[in-house]
Structure 1
């Protein structure tokens, strides 16, 4: 098999798992794709992103935001993690595109206080608004993902491949 005839998707290995887990652990922002409840058209926005101490994917959203209503309407989203450095070809740097199921966390849930503390560790400026009545946490349960580790490094990942404490 020549370089030109290599399959485009490589077998998922520890290098891919570690690359994905690093992208997830380091992410502070993500692109979020939702479906417009009225038209069904895709809508993409940028959100703050973080992890709980157990590795649960998190964001903090306002009920006033368009994407919050879309999250409530259609419980399947996509997230894009991985920011390229300031210099270089952006397509040469790793990124993870994941499909996930969102779940809103009620303020009276036991996990809320845990998520709040973890969130403020990584997003301290959100202390200005985190307790406003219109803000709530949303968790994302990843279902599957495509990892592009740079040119010629494409992988399909399952939930276990992305788990932080695996």
Structure 2
């Protein structure tokens, strides 16, 4: 059984990654490429892929694949960087599910709106089969899909409240959003808005950039999200006050 620390670090890394390395294969030949995933609420990877890309053709023929998410190294040795290798099966997202999941992918990658409606693009999902988490040099452990997956009841509760939370925070607490983005996350000034919420954190966007707030622990409902946002806003304001 994986450690709670390792599981949490892996979840945070997957949720916060703006890019990853996709490993696919064709005729037994491995192939690696850069992709820009966004996590679905259940942590599976969403990929907006062109049929013109080699890796898309590979996945259509052989759905078994892997994704490598890499964090920042603590020094000159790249081996100190935290990372997660996720193995799983890729599949096109059914048309009935595309709209909300595409919106979530664009919330993470707003710059992609320029090509998001091109006819050759489509939404894919990689369902997680397992993971290997390396927390740094000589810190490795395997994580089962069941250990990595969020609690189903918490997932449903937060998903049901997400739209209302986003509207309320943006309409009534824009100052808190700015405090989190600018004061806590150091993202600089901008028209920051809350664009996505899940059990592990939330995404804030200025329309071109997206930054991630990871909650200190997974939340189980709307009250947990509210408490985490209040805590983050207070910390952001405190840091801004110290800076000023």
Shorter-normalised TM-score: what interval? Answer: 0.7 to 0.9
Q: Which residue of 2 aligns with 1:17?
A: 7
Q: What stretches of structure 1 of length at least 5 have no aligned partner? A: 1-10
C-alpha separation between the residues in 1 aligned to 2:151 and 2:18? 19
Q: Which has the larger Rg?
A: 2
Q: Which residue of 1 aligns with 2:81?
A: 93
Q: Residue 91 of structure 2: which of 76, 94, 103 is its match?
A: 103
CA RMSD of aligned residues (A): 1.7
CA contact (8 A) 2:73 2:79 kept: no
Q: What stretches of structure 2 of length at least 5 have no aligned partner? A: 153-244
Number of matched pairs? 152
**TM-score, structure 2 normalization:** 0.59
**TM-score, structure 1 normalization:** 0.85
Determine which structure has the larger helix proportion and give its number.
2
Distance 1:130-1:165 versus aligned 2 partners, 3 A rule = farther
Q: Which residue of 2 aligns with 1:27?
A: 17
C-alpha separation between the residues in 1 aligned to 2:74 and 2:138? 22
SS in 2 for 1:130: coil
Q: Which has the higher contact order (CA 8 A, sep 6+)?
A: 1
CA contact (8 A) 1:49 1:59 kept: yes
C-alpha separation between the residues in 1 aligned to 2:118 and 2:150? 30
Q: Residue 29 of structure 2: which of 35, 41, 59 is its match?
A: 41
SS in 2 for 1:43: strand
